[in-house]
Amino acid sequence: MKRRIAILVCVIAVLVLPVKAETIKWVDFKVPYESLKYAMDTDIVTAEQECHIRWIDVLAVAGCRTGGRCDLQSVKQATKELSDGKSPQEILGALYKYFSYYHTAYSAVLGGILGNYAVETKEGRKSEYGLKAYSPIAAGYGYSHCSDFGNSRSFGFARKHLGNDLMGSLGTPVVAVEGGIVEAMGWNRYGGWRIGIRSFDSKRYYYYAHLQKDKPFADDLEVGDMVQAGDLLGFMGRTGYSDKENVNNIETVHLHFGLQLIFDEKQKECNSEIWVDVYPIVRLLNTHRSTIRRTENGWERPYKFVDLDEQNFVEKIKEK
């Protein structure tokens, strides 16, 4: 049944996604943390105002002007101009021809971070608009990281590092940044015990690798399962770099966290996959941690999280 759900997700995504004249083949995501935070804060603050300044619009305008660098000054300028009621076309003039690319690219990268969500506690259900994605590291657990996307790796073959390594303690709970479907789970010679989550809109594939030896995954988690943002996926370890399963061949305990963009299913597993630098995104999500606690019955989440933007889609999948 769970595998049937996963297949239906892919089929429906293909049917509902708009047809594009040309598929994006590369995204060089260079938006710094400071620009992301400013644009995000503006989006949240203006959400209930007459002029809602959406952060993707802001970043796309800034991207057109800066070739994707989106420095803070360009983001502030774009925010002011959009606040004044100007359209992106009026603001950009001849540069508007690049707007569709940057808007589509940034929507794909950041599409699951802001939106409508609800938290259900003993006091009832509270709905909000704002930051709905979570740090991949659960609340109460320390970690460190640096900008390491593109660094060299040599195991197997010479290649670039296509993620962000978060250094922490063995057994640290790892959670889903965004909700979606468990698309891959098990052993990989490079990533060790790993999990791949496909976002509900099918545009993002989140990769969590080097999970703990012997106890890598959350109980009862299987390929095809549906998870919500902040749900427990597994535990930090140092497995990998081995054809033999359940081997600790990574020197340092850490989580490898990666994000692949998929504009066409042919891009999923090929020589031209689109992986983006998630370092600024991990920084952005650092203040939003999911609480995971251990009880006599195992690990649990004390409250239920619901992504309201995807709720109708999820319900349709469940009905199938």
| Tokens of residue 145, six digits | 């990281």
Weakest mean pLDDT among 24-33, 34-43, 148-157: 148-157
CA Rg, the chain, in Å? 20
* 124 DSSP β-pair partners: 121
**Tens digits of residue pLDDT in 93-146:** 999 999 999 999 999 999 999 999 999 888 889 999 999 999 999 999 999 999
* Nearest to 168, CA basis, from 73, 253, 270: 253
* Nearest to 187, CA basis, from 177, 197, 195: 195
**Tens digits of residue pLDDT in 247-277:** 999 999 999 999 999 999 999 888 889 999 9
Please name the residue that has the structure tokens 């940044």.
Answer: 177
Torsion of Cα atoms, 9 then 11 then 13 then 14, to 10°: 160
pLDDT at 313: 62
Domains of the chain listed by start with CATH number: 2-10+24-110 (no CATH), 132-303 (2.70.70.10)
pLDDT confidence of 14, banded at 50, 70, 90? very low
Give the chain's mean pLDDT. 91
Determine phi and psi for 93, rounding to 5 degrees. 60, -125
Supply angle C-alpha 259, 261, 267, rounded to 5. 125
Amino acid letter for position 4: R
pLDDT at 152: 84
DSSP 8-state class, residue 246: S
DSSP 8-state class, residue 19: P
**Tens digits of residue pLDDT in 217-248:** 999 999 999 999 999 999 999 999 999 999 99
